[in-house]
Structure 1
């Protein structure tokens, strides 16, 4: 965007913010999604009529051009309405999108970037993320954005900061299916969720969960097999034909369908979907090599030795060979020669000892 236009737009945005802060006006965002991913985006900003006239006088072109610059494909207009008994000016922006990708392109043009991910499973069937810092990917809440704008110590900025709680900022989303869980307020149609942005924690991510399947298939796991042992960390992915309700790892509940587990030990994982189907997987992570006593690498012995070995990692001994011949713990060695002992546990950890007997 041309620098002059950017400065003008920033000035108009500041005026809008000022009006909202000092008059208790409202900012309302409504997004409706259809089953095929298409939908409608609407943004409404209401001003007391006296405030509107004070800021924009009789010329509405600046504010209209500001939004038309951000949203060239949108319908933007101003109407006269009565809101809670007050004569008001209402700025409305409306535009349609054909799919989620186009929705992202539309909303990425604003400073308040909302991104929506529509995935087939779990809690991310529809998860709405708050504005994010482009440089660090750190998630910010709307109030953080305003506070950053008001960091100045001048009297005007301080007054704006004090009045920040007067804002009424809400977002609503209407989905094609009934919402099963959300941190917003579900409306009577069971498909629309409203979030009061002032009530959210600064970095809280808004979410709405719904599902479309009535499958009786249990959740499935990729990245690990039931009953197996591993000597490295395990990346486990859980998928379900229905929406996942919860996942338990050793009786601790997690809200993730992708797990990376690296600590040694046994993992009992159970996943439940929204229809009551469940499945379980159990595996062990053992990164510890078997221990050997009686002989040490590089040593030469002049008297018989008794070789003992064990697995402290918990997976158990899979094989033990001495010069290629299988042996058991407690094997006595007295014959002269060069020996190579290899002990392997069920997780694949290997202990090798080379020694000599005179």
Structure 2
């Protein structure tokens, strides 16, 4: 199952840069063969680098960047102030690119933004301030006056973009997403056809709605349309696939860009039913009770005949009790009555 997203490749210190008044730009170029190249750029002023170096205990800011694989890319003037530019370029195969996106093909590119939203939440918690945009100079300020550059993710697609929740650039293929304006856990998407964006059909495979299972199950959503949300028990996931391992009830919800939704509910139950009857000799009649916590009891059979919960057994001799739950787990007990 795909787990690593593009932002998981960003070194952890990038968050530190965000918290230190620096700007970040990330450019992803998806090639026609669906391989890609990723360019990370970090922008800092000389003053900011001095401040950060003071916190690094004997390591300069430039040494830290070089240790992470960045190289100096000269200087750029941003918002009337000179910034040092550091750059990291990574080439990704088609398989690696597929792991960076929820869906990527020649008609759509969809990426989970959950980790980006988490970074923003951590940033706000770190500063204990709310952001306030200042459109006059292009910066974002915290309430105590700390200034940061806005942080952008640019994705260049192998198709002309028709529908997106970002801003389409002049070439018609590049979409800019402002990471400081992300809604919590939304997906970023760029679609090459309005027809694809309007598709409402979606298939959820691997389980049936209302199903009970005693083994791990992989549930997957597929569509020719655009899936903008895949959640399990209310938690948004980075990809359209989930492996259910633990016992319990799972509620899967898929939302399409077209507005259509699809839901399924299923239960994993790996535990056999329970009963008060033990494998031993009883000296008097016994009342049989049974239960199943997860999926519920489907049937109980005593000596080949179905019985109800609370059945009293008085007949002498050996008996076989089999209790089956809705997931297929079977509890078998052999006992006898000797008066």
TM-score (norm. length: structure 2): 0.54
**Ranges in structure 1 where 5+ consecutive residues have no aligned partner:** 1-16, 49-62, 105-115, 132-137, 148-161
**Deviation of residue 254 (structure 1)?**
3.5
Q: Check if 1:343 corresponds to 2:327.
A: no
Assess if the C-alpha contact under 8 Å between 1:218 and 1:240 holds in 2. yes
Distance in 1 (CA, whole Å) between partners of 2:186 and 2:311 is: 63
Structure 2 partner of 1:41: 39
Q: How does 1:1-358 map to 2 (within 5 A)?
A: 27=23, 29=25, 31-36=27-32, 37-39=35-37, 41=39, 43=41, 45=43, 76-78=73-75, 89=82, 99-101=91-93, 117-120=100-103, 125-127=110-112, 165-176=146-157, 177=161, 180-181=164-165, 186=167, 191-195=174-178, 208-211=188-191, 214=196, 217-222=201-206, 224-231=207-214, 235-247=218-230, 253-256=234-237, 257=240, 258=242, 260=244, 262=246, 264-265=248-249, 267-286=250-269, 289-292=272-275, 295-302=277-284, 304-305=285-286, 307=288, 309=290, 313-322=294-303, 325-329=304-308, 333-358=313-338
Cα pair distance change 1:229/1:139, threshold 3 Å: same
What SS does the aligned partner of 2:110 have?
helix
Give per-residue Cα distances to partners, 1:303-339, cap 9 Å, x unaligned: x5564656565533245142xx234237664444222
Between structure 1 and structure 2, the one with the greater Rg is: 1
In 1: Cα distance, 2:270 partner to 2:43 partner: 59
The answer as to whether partners of 1:298 and 1:355 remain within 8 angstroms in 2 is yes
Alpha-carbon separation, structure 2, partners of 1:42 and 1:313: 48
Aligned partners of 2:229 and 2:256 also within 8 Å: yes
TM-score under structure 1 normalisation?
A: 0.52
CA distance, structure 2, for counterparts of residue 30 and residue 269 of structure 1: 32
Structure 2 residues not aligned, in runs of 5+: 1-16, 47-61, 128-142
What CA deviation, in whole Å up to 9, does each residue of 1:260-298 have, x standing for no partner? 474545x554423223454443333446644546x5431
CA distance in 1, matches of 2:293, 2:148: 61
1:108 aligned partner? none
Cα distance in 2 between the residues matched to 1:90 and 1:357: 89
SS of match in other structure, 2:146:
helix
Report the counterpart of residue 53 of structure 1 in structure 2: none
Aligned residues: 273
Hey, what's the Cα distance between the residues in 2 that align with 1:187 and 1:269?
32
**What RMSD in Å do the two structures reach over aligned CA positions?**
5.5
The change in CA–CA distance for 1:277 and 1:209 in structure 2 (over 3 A counts) is: same
- The answer to whether the 8 A contact 1:210-1:243 is kept is no
Cα gap change, 1:129/1:43 in structure 2, threshold over 3 Å: closer, same or farther? farther
Structure 2 Cα separation of the partners of residues 129 and 311 of structure 1: 37
Deviations 1:53-105 (A, max 9, x none): xxxxxxxxxx8xx97x9567x9x4457x6x66x5x6565677876x4359x9x
User: Structure 1, residues 230-271: CA drift from partner, whole Å, max 9, x if none?
Assistant: 34665534343433233466xx64422426474545x55442
Distance in 1, Cα, partners of 2:69 & 2:273: 65
SS of residue paired to 1:125: strand
CA contact (8 A) 1:289 1:313 kept: no
Find the counterpart in structure 1 of residue 138 from structure 2.
Answer: none
